[in-house]
Amino acid sequence: MWKEVLDTVLLIRNAKVYSPDFLGVRDVFVAGGKICCIRERIDVEDCLPVEVIDGKGCVLLPGFIDNHVHILGGGGEGGYRTRTPELSLSTMIEAGVTTVVGCIGTDGVTRRMENLVAKAKGLKEEGVSCFIYTGSYDVPVRTLLGDIRTDMLMIEEVIGVGEIAVADHRSSLPTLEELSRILSDARVGGMLSGKAGIVNVHLGDGAQMLDLLEEIKEKTPLPTYHFVPTHMNRNPELFERGIDYAKNGGNVDFTTSSFTAFTDLGEIKCSKSLRRMLDAGVPVARMTFSSDGQGSLPVFNSAGEMTGLQVGKMNSLFAEVKDAVMEENIPLETAIRVITSNDADLLKLPQKGRIREGNDADLVLADENSLAIQTVISLGQVMMREGEIVVKGTFE
């Protein structure tokens, strides 16, 4: 036991710590995968074989949480050859992400729940934290064990349902009753298992937008804070609806993976979305960023024909936070919440998203001027040191 603890003893010195609240220049002591002590000065080198990491000139941030990633890859809308590749450990670590939530998208046939569970367990064995949503775009929801509640209670990694597609020509066009039942099952499953019971909702370009979610709030007793509607920055009309939705207590998630073809069609850059939402009076706690990493990102014309295809990039997650700080003048302690503490609260992961004593030692050291990621620590293990990946995936 003691050997395992001593093998993961770290002391980070003189870093500017953002918890995400700014704590000042601090030393952070890590042992056994946990944050043990945060002080102005910690001296343990004389009594423990500790690795000291110099944090001078750096900011220390909570490990990033990406709440929407196609860890298996996505089914390409351009045929079999366009099925996108699986997530690799190095891709995740280079992005500073230490906790990921995996999902299945359009293709719930060749990307199945059995594979998703196995991939999540594999990533955990490689040293990071991984959770998943049960289901895919499709309604009725294709679960592993027969229904949503059973998956949530019997599969450790399942914390909700998704991504359920609405307002999209690829969706099953769920009705009010169908989506309400999914929300109810996720909520009760969460209550019984102590999990978040999230329903991750893919929003397309359809005119319906948030209608179903708002109708459920009006016509049922179900609390809609379990909904996480994503791609809210997809177009200006949806974004404006999202402002009112969030000001009325809803959660909104913005997709950081973007390309010229999307912005040409009206997609709003995430850093600008955050600025505009804050200026409109939306509490920062209502917002999250996710990358849609490894997802299939097709471009369709007005006839629904695919005209282009890209792959979601996980490194876009922190890139948009950096732009929020450097281009939109949003304080780092505010901007960093959308990929750390907000996700931890939303996903009901109290050990994640904050630098505080007793929490998992998921940490990112970045240059205080450029915010370039230098060192990444996951569950107390150094995965990237001074910009170099030191722990790679099994087959990398």
At residue 139, what is the residue type?
Answer: V
Q: Please pick, among 185, 253, 292, 343, the residue that the annotation labels catalytic.
A: 292
The answer to whether the beta carbons of residues 278 and 239 sit under 8 Å apart is no
- Dihedral (Cα; 389, 393, 394, 396), 10-degree rounding: -70
Say how many CA atoms lie within 13 Å of 241 toward its Cβ: 20
Q: Rounded to whole angstroms, what are the CA distances from 216 to 39, 173, 200?
A: 47, 15, 15
Beta bridge partners of 11: 29, 52
Q: Match 């995400």 to its residue by tokens.
A: 20
The answer to whether the beta carbons of residues 298 and 261 sit under 8 Å apart is no
Nearest Cα to Cα of residue 67 among 97, 35, 109 = 97
The answer to whether the beta carbons of residues 298 and 305 sit under 8 Å apart is no
- Catalytic annotation on 292? yes
The answer to whether the beta carbons of residues 361 and 379 sit under 8 Å apart is yes
The answer to whether the beta carbons of residues 35 and 11 sit under 8 Å apart is no
Catalytic residue positions?
Answer: 292
